[in-house]
Structure 1
Amino acid sequence: MESSKLLSKEDLISFETKFFNLFETIDDMFIISSLDGNIIYCNMSLLNKMEYSFQELKNMNILDLHPKEKIEEASIVLREILDGTRDKCLLEAISKSGVKYEVETRIWFGKWNEEDCIYSISRDFTKENENLRLISKIFQNNPMPMIITDIEERKFIKVNPVFLEKTGYLEEELVGMRVDKLNIVVDMKRYEDMRNRLLSGEEIKDEELVIKCKDDSFLTGLFSIEEINNNGKRAFLIVMVDITEKVALTNRLRNKLQKLTNIIEGTNLGTWEWNIITGEVEFNEQWGKLIGYSLEELKPISIKTWRRFSHPDDLKLSDEMVKRHLKNEIDSYDCEIRMKHRDGRWIWVRDRGKVTERDKSGRPIKMFGTHSDITLAKEQSIELERFFSVNIDLLCILDMKGRFLKANKAWEDILGYPVDTLIGRRAMELVHKNDHHNTLESIKKLKKDGKLTNFINRYRTIDGEYLYFEWRTNLYNDVIYAASRDITERMKYEEKILDASNKDCLTGIYNRRYVYNRAEEIIERYKKREDDFSVCIIDIDYFKGVNDKYGHRIGDLVLKEFTSVIKENLRPYDILGRYGGEEFIVILNDIDEKESVLILERILNVIRNKTFNCNGNDINFTFSAGVANCKEIKKEEIVIDRLIGLADKRMYRAKNAGRNRIASRIK
């Protein structure tokens, strides 16, 4: 009776064959090693990825597959797994050529050739982790304020730097706090209504809401909210478009992120063995679990079972690839297909297989394969592509030479360049030549610090016009991730404001403050290059009499006409400003004292011979002026107040000498 329970030799061979077939068709790296860690056996996935031959590996220890600086850590972690204190680990592995991979490893004890051994299976999570880091960086570097909140407890989970910058809060002041307790939302009733509508299935997009900043100021924004999966918990992703300032740079921003799911733990592989002759198929339990069923529920099982759950649009490609493999046109079958889950959704599955048995004529008899759920990778790829496609700001990825690797459609919408014409092109080709130096310096800073925010330069449109953009960039693994916003209208508005703040409201010439600032620049230039210049103070003679006789309104007209005459007789690079009342200041650049006096005398002669007609009143007047040259004061002692004081003293000397004249050191 006991002997009947023993497996026959044929059964053992069949079991062993299936065992090896299983591990030769999976992407995961499978290793059998001695208790000392010396490698006894491995599958093809490990050989391909690690780039070693089997003979090389037989002389290696499993710790040798990790970088030297990680071996001690790997030794500790693996010991903990063997001790039962943990069931898996995420460690860095390195190939023969030095390529590094992030792998998750599971280990268990077993027997090999009746000797105790260690079985280990490792999955490469490098690409999945890269995707997660990329999405996180997009969140962190997005030019829009973004937050993630817990659905049930209403607590802040995560906030991006832009939200903190706009509201004035520190991250630790928000994360973990309840939205309704923090008093950050002005109209909580409206917020709760938005929340309830979202939970009931209604879409929340671009709805106006006012929030309170830390300094008690207010921001009005258009809020879009989406439910996402955050580490296994339901959460709200909230995106805000700041519309507080009336000079809005965009109409509306729609930005939605779909659910993020955790990377599927373990291998989660479904296995299948297909008898090509009879059509019979054997599945393992995990195969059924991938689509939400037990094997019992799927009976009777055949090749038709798989076809019944496969998406009809994908079967054509799958059938074609199977036929090519059966004819030995390709080494193995590898296809991505959609399968209908029990809950009604379609999941993406990587279907891989290989003929394991052929007859003497080469006709295929059996084929063995695996199914792995790749839905997460597909969703992440779609997520990233959707993010690029819907964002109305410029988004791009560049290499270290500044060449486009990827760009979103906003480049075409705003600048007019089709995306495919940008790929491989250097971004600097589109930058205004006057911004090249600052842009290159900013790139140096980015390479040094790893990130750069609030950098402004100009980019050329396809029509030759230049627009201003504000950039946020991040450097990761020698790749530049950048986002920018068109601020052309804002720059024009600020330029108008700045220009108005520098002008005298009556005459339209520069005010005293602006002239002083320019004078400081001219003095610094003189100290470096000794470019000659003179400062002149002009005062209209007997102007009080004009105001007394004709009134201040006529007096204002006279001042405006007077400044027009002076401007017409100055050079474009000379500076004219109103010093106060009927006094004016002129800075004559790149000219010596004698030529400065000649220019003022020419202007005085024009005034002497001109009759100003203001509302029917003929008015004649003259002026007195004083001139001070930069070379009258020692270079190290020169300041604008000393030059103005000297010119002002000479102007009064001209007044006392009878007015209607110019006073200087030489006259």
Structure 2
Amino acid sequence: MAFDSYVLGGGQMKVLLVDDETSILDQGKIFLKKEDDRLDVETTSSVEKALEMLNNSKYDVIVSDYQMPETDGLEFLETVREERNSDVPFIIFTGKGREEVAMEALNLGVDRYLEKGGSLKSQYGVLADAIVQEVERGKAERRLKKAKDRAQKYLNIADVIIVAQDRNQEVIEINERGCEILGYDKDEIIGKNWYENFMPERVRKDVLKGATKPLMNGRVEEGKRYENPIVTKDGEERIISWKNSVIRDDDGETIGILSSGRDITERKKAEEKLKESEERLDLALEGTKAGLWDWNVQTGETVFDERWAEIVGYELEELEPVSIETWKELAHPEDLERSDELLEKHFDGETDFYEFEGRMKHKDGQWVWVQDRGKVVEWDDEGNPVRMTGTHVDITERKRREENLKRYKKAVQSSDNSIYMIDKDYRYVFANDEHISRLLDDGKIPSRNKDEVVGRKYAEIHLDEETDALKDNVGRVLEKGKPVTEEYEFNTVDRWSSRTYSPVKDRESGEIEGIIIVSEDITERKERERELQTYADVFDNVPVGLHIYRLERPDDDSSLRMIYANKITETYTSIPVEEVVSKTLDESFPGLREMGIPQAYAEVARTGKAKELGDVHYGDEKVPDRWFNVRAFPLPDNCVGASFTDITERKKAEEELEEARDDYRVRR
């Protein structure tokens, strides 16, 4: 059945078929529905009746014959386009095509001009194809128009200046806020040189040299902030904070600049008044990244600096007017009582400083952790606090690390897997309860006391062959700087284990300090793999390629390792199954990574949701060029299945059909 990709989208397409031959109407209604069951076809044998039907119903597309009694297809097209001002997709479907008729139809606004002929399935297959394509094109154009309308609406409601200029520095677009600040009507601005007409002469050269021209030539990053004055219609200068980005055409060439600017004139005036004091504070706070607060305890009047507001995601002007209530409103309700207790202790002289760690509501809705530290700097004659100053420091990352460490330690200790860490001298640094238990069960230590393990060298506890195997895998980790996973079967019991060696790196230098080893019992998984092999004969006889991969490390798509491939894949890839099973996807088919295939397979394994990858073209030095339709589906144990069908011949046929169409267009 045609149009499988469109069927996935759903939705009916209402078609009006107009032809004076009833046999064509009957055939069209039947064959178009067969080609694509989304096509809901209504028919009529005359243009007059068709126009009446258009008055009463909405259609997604019109298909009309050319030669008809009384009114022909071109007159019908002209009525729809000019008299009714309709842009509904219109297809001429005629048995007697002539070049001059086709040219006139194109001039009148026809979307497709198709000739009848050939087998019924062939001609209606082509027609159904054209109908779906024209309907989808029309929908896309309407969506684009809506998107442009929404963008224009945003431009007009934005509380910042938005202005676009071309390579000649002439304004090609400006929003209502920009016109309001400049004091001009829009038509007084469009087409004018932005720098010569709306910027003080003293700064034009510097702005062009320092910001505009380097940005146009790609020598500075987009989004960098710039501040410069503009001149309004009445001669006033306003200071604007600009953020610029380039405008590119479809070929990626820079054709202009889009700028958004916030009027910060009032803020700048206030900054000038406070500049001297801010410089002193900057020197004191430069190394701490702290925000400053100054609180009149008796009146509640409070002063915050920009950094204080920045910690909670605001610009200071967004919080104004400010007072001690500003802090209380942003603080977590559960933390206020503890803060009050600590303040009282400081006011009573029990502590030299007030120091408190609490949460504050960030502008984006999250809670950030802040270290609040301050001291009373002025008292009244009765010994009551008058003025207090202090700082806020964002400690969110520190708190997050502490919390993550707590959760990690708890998870590690309670894990059913054996987890331990050794340093580069093969000495135990850490071992969880499960690892201690396994060592005790194996008779390698006399008690559960961790002192029997931590601090001792691996070779003091384990057999020589175990130590040699560990050193071999640690050497691979140190060489690659990446995790290494091995699977092995115990000799004494019918049990399998997977052991992953992961590097632990110094946060500052990046050097490997040690290795964490996680040993997981995979006996049940191996049993399921054996069960999978019992179905190999069935899978080998299905006419679809099947690969099964296991994602050995959930956060690493390069750890996808093949555990099964059916025999038909040898026909597709020209590679024996035994050469790819047990290898990673990247090792067997390296070219798939740039297509995003390993990333997609890993996502399916992680999310448990199947994914249609569509048509994929692949070939390398071992695999001949072929087209495949690929689908990925989740399987237990972090596994993903990939089924693929060879569609090379279908693709060739589609290319031949497109070449024939191109040839027809050239001849036409």
Relative to the length of structure 1, the TM-score reads: 0.27
Greater RCO (CA < 8 Å, at least 6 residues apart): 1
Relative to the length of structure 2, the TM-score reads: 0.27
